[in-house]
Structure 1
Amino acid sequence: MAIQTRLLVPVLAALVLAGCSKSSDEGSTKPPAAADRKADGSRIGVTGGDGIAVTYQYSVRIPASEVAGLQEEHARACEGLGPARCRIWGMTFSVIGDRSVAATLDLRLAPADARAFGRGAIDTATRRGGMLTDATIDSTDTRIATTAADAGSRDAERDRRALAARLAAATTPAERQSVQAMIEEAEGRQEELGGQKADAAASLAAIPLSLHYTSGPVSPPLDRGPFLAAIDDGWDNVVGGLAAILLIVITLLPWAAMALAVVLGGRWVVGRLWPVERGPTEARPDTDAPGGA
């Protein structure tokens, strides 16, 4: 019996260890999955988060003939989302020097739509023959401003209540007037701080997204080698130099022609008014030899 007991102890210990090992394996499997889900759910990145206000700015270059159409297509895409998800905040379009075009489109989007809308806008510009030249995504922690506004509002409310008590105990008109002015100042601080808090909340509810359009030649793909890039840059320099020379010649040619006309006209007038007097013509010596007898 003692021998059987000694044999059962190792078996029971092995079973207990196997069960603990299985439990630890299951536990070690479930927490990472939960941790992954938590990481995915709390990932903020550039799409904002609790108290984080994000702003998006994109600049694209596109042929001048496509600027208006691209801007209109982006505006229609915003309107297609509906006013609850996207609003047009402002639009500009201008022709500069009859040769280049510049335009802007300012939008306010729901936080869940801002990043996807920006990606779609760049894809649309690329499809129309344009290219992305600049992208800026910035964020601001509005919790700092909100906390400061709450603290300042509490201080202003405490001051207002103390001043209200002083006003009730004031005995002279001058004292009441002075205390009333301080109460109005405290109320003004409260109103200003409330506006700051409202602005912070609005920046979280509507994400600003700005699109800037400029016309111009679209650069070749960035993966081209340095040799082809050098050829393109050299050719652009040659064309630019010839254009500059032609511009200088065209600009100075009328003035040069005018200066030449003034010089020739002046010489003609001087010649007519003050003719040059010529001296007596010297007699030509006779070249015939005297005849002999």
Structure 2
Amino acid sequence: MRIGILISGLVAVALVGCSKKENTSHDLKTFDVTEASSSDRGPPSIGPTAAPGVAFSYKYDFSLADEKISAVQEAHAAKCEALGVVRCRITGLNYTIGDNDTVTADLQVKLAPDIARGFGREASATVTQAGGRLSHTEFSGEDTAPSTDVATSSQSNAATRIAAIERQLEAKGPRDAERAQLQAQLDALRSQGEQAASTLADNRSKLAATPMTFFYYGKGGISGFAGQNPLFEAGRSFVASLVTMITVVLQLLAYLLPWLLLLGVLVLLWRTPPFRAAKRWWKEKGEADAPAD
């Protein structure tokens, strides 16, 4: 009987252990990054979390064919305009065709904070559909809470002191000597209050609209070569090869030049009069020491 109870207990413990092992394995699998494809080089699917008092700004760098940049830029601008000026407004736009027909462009918008992340994802998807890719993204935040707290406290203190000084001025006579001093303090406090109000207004403006900038970079192209520029690529290869050749030559000179300089110094010393006299003396001494036949 005791043996049966013991066996039943061991089986129960084993089942519980297996269950915990399976659950642990399942939990670990949730965080397993080895299942991701090695060819997946996209950005991480993360973004800034909404935080009270933090003003975020977004930057995206897109790389795509030059002839596609204009259409993609227009699509992003049209999407912003469709949201309306309250939710999105365009604040800047640039489109430049440089050397080798390389196109660079940028688009600057300001968005309602609650739609900024979604707008950025949709913009990236539009670039991908056009055959381009997101090459760089940057989210930066400015914590306005500390400056807001300081400005609020400063504004409140200034208002309290202004009210107290105004009561004192009402009690003073027009020729009282202390009146000028109180008036100077009052002007300084009003200036302090205005500065605090300006800081608060600036922080509210930052929190009300999220700036987002799109940068578009092309590679230059010639019609008929699928957006590629073989001459430009060949030129880059030539320059790279030339740089490699110069590097190798300089490295060889760096190793050999000290030895060549040393050899040159020895040759010059060998030809100086003292060395020639020493050679003659050595030769004459050798002939004198040689046994006569």
Equivalent residue, structure 2, for 1:185: 188
Equivalent residue, structure 1, for 2:159: 157
Unmatched tracts of structure 2, length 5 or more = 1-45, 222-232, 244-293
- In 2, Cα distance between equivalents of 1:55 and 1:165: 46
Please tell me whether the aligned partners of residues 47 and 112 of structure 1 are also in contact (alpha carbons under 8 angstroms).
no
Please tell me whether the aligned partners of residues 47 and 115 of structure 1 are also in contact (alpha carbons under 8 angstroms).
no
Q: Give the superposition deviation at 1:177.
A: 4.5
Please tell me whether the aligned partners of residues 155 and 196 of structure 2 are also in contact (alpha carbons under 8 angstroms).
yes
Deviation string for 1:168-217 (max 9, x for gaps)? 32553875445334322221221221121122222222111111122227
Counterpart amino acid of 1:137? F
Rg (Cα) greater in structure: 1
- In 1, Cα distance between equivalents of 2:214 and 2:50: 19
Q: 1:70 to 1:84 in 2, by over 3 A?
A: same
Equivalent residue, structure 2, for 1:238: 237
Deviation string for 1:136-178 (max 9, x for gaps)? 1122332222211111111221332233234332553875445
- In 1, Cα distance between equivalents of 2:234 and 2:151: 59
Q: 1:213 to 1:45 in 2, by over 3 A?
A: closer
SS of aligned partner of 1:119: helix
Q: 1:97 to 1:165 in 2, by over 3 A?
A: farther
Runs ≥4 residues deviating over 6 A: none
Aligned pair 1:62/2:64, yes or no? yes
Aligned with residue 111 of structure 1, among 110, 113, 117: 113
Counterpart amino acid of 2:149? T
Equivalent residue, structure 1, for 2:228: none
Equivalent residue, structure 2, for 1:216: 219
Aligned with residue 143 of structure 1, among 122, 142, 145: 145
Deviation string for 1:104-162 (max 9, x for gaps)? 21111122211011011111112222221211112233222221111111122133223
- In 2, Cα distance between equivalents of 1:153 and 1:177: 23
Q: 1:236 to 1:130 in 2, by over 3 A?
A: farther
Q: 1:125 to 1:45 in 2, by over 3 A?
A: closer
Aligned with residue 100 of structure 1, among 99, 102, 106: 102
SS of aligned partner of 2:86: coil
SS of aligned partner of 1:115: helix
- Give the number of equivalent residue pairs: 186
- In 2, Cα distance between equivalents of 1:99 and 1:57: 25
Please tell me whether the aligned partners of residues 58 and 212 of structure 2 are also in contact (alpha carbons under 8 angstroms).
yes
- In 2, Cα distance between equivalents of 1:62 and 1:211: 13
Please tell me whether the aligned partners of residues 47 and 139 of structure 2 are also in contact (alpha carbons under 8 angstroms).
no
Counterpart amino acid of 1:238? S
Aligned pair 1:84/2:86, yes or no? yes
CA RMSD of aligned residues (A): 3.0
- In 2, Cα distance between equivalents of 1:243 and 1:101: 27
Q: 1:147 to 1:88 in 2, by over 3 A?
A: same
Matches for 1:1-293 after TM superposition, within 5 Å: 46-97=48-99, 99-168=101-170, 169=172, 171-172=174-175, 176-216=179-219, 238-241=237-240
Q: Give the superposition deviation at 1:77.
A: 0.8
- In 1, Cα distance between equivalents of 2:177 and 2:239: 77
Q: 1:120 to 1:243 in 2, by over 3 A?
A: farther
